[in-house]
Amino acid sequence: MQIVIYDDSARDERGLMLENREGTVKISFHELEYVEVLNKVLSFHMADGSVREGTGTLSDVEGKILSGPEFIKCHRSYLINLSFVQEISAGAAVTTAGHRVPVSRQRRGQVRDAWLRFLQQSERDNAYDDSKAEPGRRTRADGPWRILLVDDDLAERTLWANVLREHGCIVHPAGNGREALALAESEHFDCVLLDVMLPGEDGFSICGQLKDMSCAPVIFLSSHTESDRQMEGFSAGGIDYITKDTPAGLFWIKVKTRIELAVSERTQSLYGPLLLDLTERRVYMDGKDLAFTSAEFDILWLLSERSDYIFTPEEIFDIVWGAQPWDGGQTVLAHMSGLRRKLERAWRAHRFIETVWGEGYRFVPADSSKS
């Protein structure tokens, strides 16, 4: 098997050209998640889930691939692209796609240090570059949202920053309260995402100081899920409290909705007799509280915000329960059944959720107007 490096400067792309029995295979370093060699079979695992294979040993490609600063050898049989690493756990590097790539004990410290340096460099490259925002995905007339993200954990900060940037936001990171206050004094922000456990003053204390300096809504982002901690967050002036086990899809919907509410001052969505209180996270039918569970509220909120869209069961599951393994739709079916039963008992004249057979679910408003 012949292997050569290609360098397409016009596209700012580098990679490998492989000659195997199937012909020429092009592998872009930007899209290469990790390399695995087992029984003299080289497997190139791509970001889109595909795998390109060739015959050879790791030494055949190691020198060429490691010429890129984003790659590192993590095991005698594996190379990994640090830009796809989400976590370094015991014995493995977990990628953003959920793959566990082995990391040998001898290389664990080296790989973690290299990953942290890579994250720091990426943060410096992206933090204040307005051109990184996608003009086609702007969510307000005067430009992309600017978000102050405060978290002392670099890996967590990078994870959430990437989610926000994927939706066209400009993210300004801060590692502690002092940095956050300095940025808030010199910049305008549409939202502040604030970790609770920070070195020095905690997030609750910093929130009060931020509220004195800016009218930007503050959302707490924390690994603490206890109800008393969440209540403390609201008492400190936060408008929401998002736990760090929240799936990326639901995280973005919450941030997006909170910013839109702050801009529009909308606190409720009204669809005929159906009222969603977005601040209190409660559902009312003709003034009667329907006592929805948190998951039921999230599903109804999700569907109602895009009434023109049919959500598949898997999309709903990924957004509301994304941290859990897909169960074939049983969880969505059970929650949807309870949600619809509550709606139909409260208002028999109209079905707010329509099943589109073979596709999924769609919200059907009744005399929809928003207030």
**Average pLDDT along the chain:** 85
Check pLDDT > 90 for residue 227: no
Rounded CA gap, 322 and 320, in Å? Answer: 6
Weakest mean pLDDT among 39-43, 82-86, 125-129, 282-286: 125-129
Give every strand in the sheet of 13-20, ordered side by side: 2-8, 13-20, 23-28
Q: pLDDT confidence of 324, banded at 50, 70, 90?
A: confident
Rounded CA gap, 129 and 147, in Å? Answer: 13
Amino acid, single-letter form, for residue 205: S
pLDDT for 104 equals: 92
Q: Provide the pairing of β-strand 191-195 with 146-150.
A: parallel
Q: pLDDT confidence of 265, banded at 50, 70, 90?
A: low
- For residues 21 and 29, which has the higher predicted lDDT (pLDDT)? 29
C-alpha 92, offset from chain centre: 21
Identify whether the C-beta of residue 253 lies closer than 8 Å to the C-beta of residue 318. no
Provide the phi-psi class of 169: left if phi over 0, else alpha when psi is between -120 and 50, else beta: beta
Q: pLDDT confidence of 322, banded at 50, 70, 90?
A: low
- Tokens standing for 22? 């199937």
Identify whether the C-beta of residue 250 lies closer than 8 Å to the C-beta of residue 298. yes
**Cross-strand pairs, 285:** 274, 288
CA dihedral 283, 285, 291, 294 (to 10 degrees): -30
pLDDT for 127 equals: 59
Check pLDDT > 50 for residue 203: yes
**Cross-strand pairs, 356:** 360
Mean pLDDT of 90-113: 89
Mean pLDDT of 200-207: 91
Please provide the size of the chain in residues.
371
Q: pLDDT confidence of 20, banded at 50, 70, 90?
A: low
pLDDT for 140 equals: 47
Q: At what angle do helices 248-264 and 294-305 cross, to 10 degrees?
A: 70
- For residues 121 and 201, which has the higher predicted lDDT (pLDDT)? 201
pLDDT for 371 equals: 40
Provide the phi-psi class of 326: left if phi over 0, else alpha when psi is between -120 and 50, else beta: beta
Rounded CA gap, 350 and 357, in Å? Answer: 19
Predicted confidence (pLDDT) per residue in 109-150, tens digit: 899 889 988 888 877 776 555 444 444 333 444 568 899 999
Q: pLDDT confidence of 370, banded at 50, 70, 90?
A: very low
Mean pLDDT of 142-164: 87
3-state secondary structure of 167: coil
Predicted confidence (pLDDT) per residue in 182-194, tens digit: 999 888 899 999 9
pLDDT for 131 equals: 47
Rounded CA gap, 158 and 164, in Å? Answer: 10
Check pLDDT > 80 for residue 359: yes
Weakest mean pLDDT among 11-20, 24-33, 86-95: 11-20
**Cross-strand pairs, 79:** 35, 73
Check pLDDT > 60 for residue 61: yes
Query: HSE (CB half, 13 Å, CA atoms) of 137?
Result: 13
Distances (CA, A) of 41 to 37, 55, 194: 5, 5, 46
- For residues 303 and 294, which has the higher predicted lDDT (pLDDT)? 303
Mean pLDDT of 322-340: 86
